[in-house]
Structure 1
Amino acid sequence: MTKVPGSVGLPILGDKSIDFYRDPIRFTLKHIENTNSRVFCARFLNTPTVFVGCNSTLKELLTDGVRHTDMGYKAFMEHIFGQNILFTDGDMAAGLRQSLSQLFTPETVKTYQQRVERIVNECLHEVESSEYICLYTFMKRICTQICLSLFLDLDFHQASDTANSIVALTTTHWHGIISVPLSIKLPGSGGSTYRKALDAKEELLKIIIHKKEQNDSAGSFSHKVQQCPHGNEDIFVNNHLLLFTSALVPKALSSILTSFFIEISGDHRDLQSSVLEDSILMESLLLEAQRMYPPFLGGRRLATEDFNLNGYKVHKGHALVYLTYAAHRDPAVFDNPEQFDPHRWTGRNSQDKDKIHCFGGGPRGCIGQNLVWQIIQTVIVGLLTKYSVTLKEGQDLTHKWLPVSRPKNEILVKFVRKTEQQIDTDGS
């Protein structure tokens, strides 16, 4: 086995966390260049950490590596979310996964389609063709309404005040995920960001419990969660409904949709008219949007024993941070990795779909991917059926990557309503 190149430095003094959070892409590229390796080590969060930006090594970590690692989020986010599938390992994780997977089978996901379509159409009805709007904000509004409607049976039109209150709570709750976990209340300040997030969590749980009692019909999502093998335990149901209704899911959806529409309303606008009639092109564009702009920069694991990771020796107690961004731009897999090229997926990379890791992979991959892609494609079809999308010229399209990938600036687009003749032509 080969020693991981780089240095873990001294405790505290050698920590590189500030460098990473200040500019994670620059941090990554600098260490790849200095070590001449896409796998390197440094001290991060005051823990010796192996950073993985090699596509094949990342895939091994997410598959065979699960036998030697635990999830690395529990210490940071368990108090924010409570115990759920994200923060469990071993047999418990496998059991939760088996229980919850039945909520997201292709057959079950089809039962959500009518509601998803209704929300998309309602949001599109409010679009003014003559005005530029912020693309990310618009996508986040659609995705938030979809998620809260599906998972909490919330109607934004009939209960707008309640809906807006819940959205505000999910935002406060989300800010706690990216704050320092300092659960204190300061005099006159209303408390730290983390403390406010914990308070928002408690308020959200009260709403979830109330809505769960109201929505006891067999078709409601909360009822389906309760029918899972673990669903007779209130803490199981409540914590997973909290996870599903948090800002995490709509932000991920909004990130992918925003990247997709930036590309097909800008440099690749010529492909816009073909997307609806060419399912292969649709898939290729979505794969390339994920490749270049993964919603999450990466993930974290903790080594539970010494083990061999694709030829590198990883020590027990060391953390591993996998860098999806870097792995998706690994030149060993993708030619011209900095170029947005959807046609690569029908060419050299036609067999490489398993090298995209936006939602993890292996035994711990996202269980909700069927629903994710149904929502994303429903939004795309709904929009492109009725509108052509135009990106305002001269905008800075630079991305920021933490905590979720999105443009640094408010990217403005215009949805121009199609004529009935155009709609008929595009739909034929």
Structure 2
Amino acid sequence: MSKLPGNAGVSLLGDKSMDFYRDPVSFCRQRVDKHRCRVFQSRLLNRPTVFICSVRAMRELLCEKSNIFLKDPTDLMTNMYGDTVVTTNGEEACLLRLSLCNLFEGHCLQSSRDYITSVCERHLKSLSTSGQPECIYSAFKYLSTELVLGLFLNVKAEEQPELFQKIMQLCTQHWHGLISAPVNVKVPLWSSGFSTALEAREKLMQIIMDKLENDKHGFVGSLSSLPLPNSSSAAQHLLLFISALIPKALASLLTSFTLALSGNHQVDTRLQAIDDLDYLHRVLLEVQRLWPPFIGGRRIADQDSTIAGFHVPKDYGAVYISHAVHRDPEVFQQPDSFLPDRWSGRNAGQEHFLCSFGNGSRNCIGAKLTDIFLKETCTYLLKHYTWSLEPPSQDLEYKWLPVSRPANLPTLTFTPLNQGKRSGEENSSGC
């Protein structure tokens, strides 16, 4: 058992939180290079913390030792969403997961497909009508928000436009509480972001409770009938499911997909993805690998343990960094290159080495639903459009917190494909 590379510093003065949040990718890359190790220690949120940048160590943290490294019960997610399947630990988390999983698979999953298809078609068919470049991240975020509110809350934009807009605004205000200092201050003419977020949370909970009481159809009706631990649990989970966090994550992945496949040099990739659903799956895996929507996740050591052979004392934090894990050169050759075919070659069957949405027994329960939505959206785009950056030269450098996306939102032009025939440099296979 070896000592962790690096230095955990001293209380307050040695904290590196600002350095990490300013640029988490550079923060980790510099220390991996310095220590020549993909596991190291530093001080984050004024707690000694082990940073995990390798596939092996990530799997150890989230799979083999998930009963030792626990969710932090005091973190901001718990304050903002309450006790949910994401924030709880131990038996409570397991029971919540068992209760909720049926809503995200089988018949329930299939019944969502028609709605997903209709929302995608309605939004995406107008991408080329304005004749102007599209800010794709914003377009995908709105599409994803409509999807989430319609699926989980039975609030459809075309049927209840005022309520839809109200909830969307409240979700945005609530989200800002997750990315602001947790200081609840309210004075005349000014409120802190956290205070505003808490107010938005209360208003959202009122809408959600009304839905749970009066709407017995769809996801809301199914959720209210589940054997959950208390009366507030269903409402807290609905708050989580309609959170702005989900549309932002979906918009992040769709933006990365369109950027990766934009321009004339990706014509063959787009054509192959139209004709071969397995290849489209590999493309989306590679998008997720290179541009994970979330930088990672955090745990707390409940007892002395080890990670990758290094001693981790009790009460240490443990942070897995998705961007770094996904570029572990021991697992992924040419780790910085976009190579979808790696998933049918050396990395075939290794999807479990990705951690964009967690891993192991605590991975995202909505992963299958996310996969359906992404494939529906991407298939529609591939069958109906060719696209490219406009203007051609744009700064596409990513920011990684709170959700990854280019710091300067990119704009693209979408050109309709000829239907039913192939002409020019790229053509459609039809619907």
* TM-score, with structure 2 as normaliser: 0.95
Compute the RMSD of aligned alpha carbons: 1.6
**In the alignment, which residue of structure 2 is the partner of 1:306?**
304
- Please give the alpha-carbon distance, in whole angstroms, between the structure 2 residues aligned to 1:398 and 1:371: 29
Question: What do residues 30-49 of structure 1 show as CA deviations (whole Å, max 9, x unaligned)?
Answer: 11122111100001100000
Deviation of 1:2 after TM superposition, in Å, equals: 1.2
- CA 1:243–1:399: 2 relative to 1, 3 Å: same
Number of matched pairs: 424
**In the alignment, which residue of structure 2 is the partner of 1:260?**
257
Residue correspondence of structure 1 range 113-128 to structure 2 within 5 A: 113-128=113-128
Equivalent residues of 1:53, 1:322 under 8 A apart: yes
Q: Which amino acid aligns with 1:252?
A: A
Deviation of 1:422 after TM superposition, in Å, equals: 3.8
Question: What do residues 73-92 of structure 1 show as CA deviations (whole Å, max 9, x unaligned)?
Answer: 64222121122111110100
- Please give the alpha-carbon distance, in whole angstroms, between the structure 2 residues aligned to 1:227 and 1:320: 36
**In the alignment, which residue of structure 2 is the partner of 1:86?**
86
Is 1:111 paired with 2:111? yes
- Please give the alpha-carbon distance, in whole angstroms, between the structure 2 residues aligned to 1:350 and 1:363: 21
Other structure's SS at 1:242 match:
helix
Deviation of 1:419 after TM superposition, in Å, equals: 2.4
**In the alignment, which residue of structure 1 is the partner of 2:269?**
271
- Please give the alpha-carbon distance, in whole angstroms, between the structure 1 residues aligned to 2:259 and 2:367: 22
Deviation of 1:261 after TM superposition, in Å, equals: 1.1
**In the alignment, which residue of structure 2 is the partner of 1:234?**
231
Other structure's SS at 2:187 match:
coil
**In the alignment, which residue of structure 2 is the partner of 1:184?**
185
**In the alignment, which residue of structure 2 is the partner of 1:294?**
292
- Please give the alpha-carbon distance, in whole angstroms, between the structure 1 residues aligned to 2:177 and 2:33: 34
Match of 1:284 among 275, 282, 286: 282
Q: Which amino acid aligns with 1:230?
A: L
Q: Which amino acid aligns with 2:337?
A: Q
User: Please, which runs of 5 or more residues in structure 1 have no aligned partner?
Assistant: none
Q: Which amino acid aligns with 2:238?
A: L
Match of 2:246 among 240, 246, 249: 249
Question: What do residues 25-77 of structure 1 show as CA deviations (whole Å, max 9, x unaligned)?
Answer: 11111111221111000011000000000111111111012121211364222
Question: What do residues 200-247 of structure 1 show as CA deviations (whole Å, max 9, x unaligned)?
Answer: 000111111222334213xx111111222217x320110000000111
Is 1:426 paired with 2:429? yes
- Please give the alpha-carbon distance, in whole angstroms, between the structure 1 residues aligned to 2:75 and 2:257: 34
Greater mean deviation of Cα atoms: 206-215 or 30-39: 206-215
Question: What do residues 375-427 of structure 1 show as CA deviations (whole Å, max 9, x unaligned)?
Answer: 11111122222222222211111111000011111211122122232499514
Q: Which amino acid aligns with 2:121?
A: N
**In the alignment, which residue of structure 1 is the partner of 2:138?**
137
Equivalent residues of 1:264, 1:270 under 8 A apart: no
Runs (4 or more) in structure 1 with deviation over 3 Å come to 422-425
Is 1:18 paired with 2:21? no
Match of 2:375 among 351, 354, 377: 377
Other structure's SS at 1:3 match:
coil
- Please give the alpha-carbon distance, in whole angstroms, between the structure 1 residues aligned to 2:374 and 2:30: 34
- Please give the alpha-carbon distance, in whole angstroms, between the structure 2 residues aligned to 1:163 and 1:296: 26
- Please give the alpha-carbon distance, in whole angstroms, between the structure 1 residues aligned to 2:409 and 2:73: 30
Q: Which amino acid aligns with 1:291?
A: R
Residue correspondence of structure 1 range 17-416 to structure 2 within 5 A: 17-72=17-72, 74-129=74-129, 130-189=131-190, 191-217=191-217, 220-230=218-228, 233-266=230-263, 267-392=265-390, 393-416=392-415
